[in-house]
Structure 1
């Protein structure tokens, strides 16, 4: 997992793997406030952007998730969002497995889970297999807006 600020990442190129730096640079070229919610291609099907406008909820109502084929860059654009983050735990119960169709599985509560609060302009990067619990409320449930870049794992192998 990486926690950073978009402005800092752009000011210090080369501090992240090349494909992460490239994705962050692509985000900086877009008018993210004007993009409608939904899916937007960045590099075809191997790197794309999701603009999401969810309502945050109680921490306990959200489920930890992980992906197999994609890394996530989750950049908060508006509001405040809390994440649960945890290392993968052998034997952690899979509550819902959608990895074959949607590259996501939802898990039971890990034994050791930290919380991170994002504010606008901050991002988190989750590698395939890393547990994260997004869309948790910092206080009362509230609307947020975020950009999620999905990066297929093949880009980490071919673009070094």
Structure 2
């Protein structure tokens, strides 16, 4: 997992895989506010962009998730989104596994989950296996608009 914002991520670019740097640069080149919700190709195969409009929910109404094949870069464009975060736990078994269909599995609440709130311009990177709980309300339920870049693990040499 990696947390940063669009105004300062380049100061730490040396610690990021080249594919992540290319994805962040692709985000900077686009007018994300002008894009309708949907899926958009990015600059190379195995990398695409989702523009999403969601309504955050109470923590109890959300589930931790992880991906097997994709890294997520989740960038908040408007609103405030709380994310649950936990280290990978091989002993934690999914309650719903859909890796073959959607590259996602949902998990019970991990023992060592903590939360971070992201505001517009801030992003989190979740690598394959990283447990994360998106779309949590930071207070009352509220609309959030975000960009999610999906990078296939082969772009990261995984």
Secondary structure of 2:95's aligned partner: strand
Task: Report the counterpart of residue 143 of structure 2 in structure 1.
Answer: 143
What does 1:84-103 align with in structure 2 at a 5 Å threshold? 84-103=84-103
Asked if structure 2 preserves the Cα contact closer than 8 Å seen for 1:83 and 1:116, the reply is yes
Is the 1:56–1:141 Cα contact (8 Å) retained in structure 2? Answer: yes
**Displacement of 1:118:** 0.2
> In 2, Cα distance between the equivalents of 1:67 and 1:54?
20
Alignment of 1:117-156 (within 5 A): 117-156=117-156
Give distance in 1, aligned partners of 2:106 and 2:94.
Answer: 6
Tell me the alpha carbon deviations over residues 122-158 of structure 1, each in whole angstroms, 9 at most, x when there is no partner: 0000000000000000010000000000000000129
- Paired residue secondary structure (1:125): strand
Q: Alignment length, in residue pairs?
A: 158
Runs of 4+ in 1 over 6 A off after TM superposition: none
Q: Deviation at 1:95?
A: 1.2
Aligned to 1:18: 18
What is the aligned partner in structure 2 of residue 113 from structure 1? 113
- For residue 46 of structure 1, what is the aligned residue in structure 2? 46
Structure 2 stretches lacking a partner, 5+ long: none
Q: Does the 8 A contact of 1:71 with 1:152 survive in 2?
A: yes
Give the CA RMSD over aligned residues. Answer: 1.4
Given that 2:26 and 2:43 are in contact with CA atoms closer than 8 Å, whether structure 1 keeps it comes out as no
Contact 1:9 1:21 in 2 (8 A): no
Cα deviation, residue 93, structure 1: 3.0
Give me the whole-angstrom Cα distance separating, in 2, the residues matched to 1:111 and 1:11. 33
How far apart in 2 are the matches of 1:44 and 1:98? 25
Closer, same or farther in 2 for the Cα pair 1:35/1:93, shift >3 Å?
A: same
**Following the alignment from structure 2 to structure 1, what is the Cα–Cα distance between the partners of residues 10 and 26?**
10
Whether the 8 Å CA contact 1:9–1:15 is kept in 2: the answer is no
Task: Note the residue ranges of structure 1 that are not aligned, 5 or more in a row.
Answer: none
Structure 1 match to 2:80: 80
What is the DSSP-based 3-state SS (H/G/I as helix, E as strand, rest coil) of the residue aligned with 1:63? Answer: coil
Match of 1:37 in 2: 37
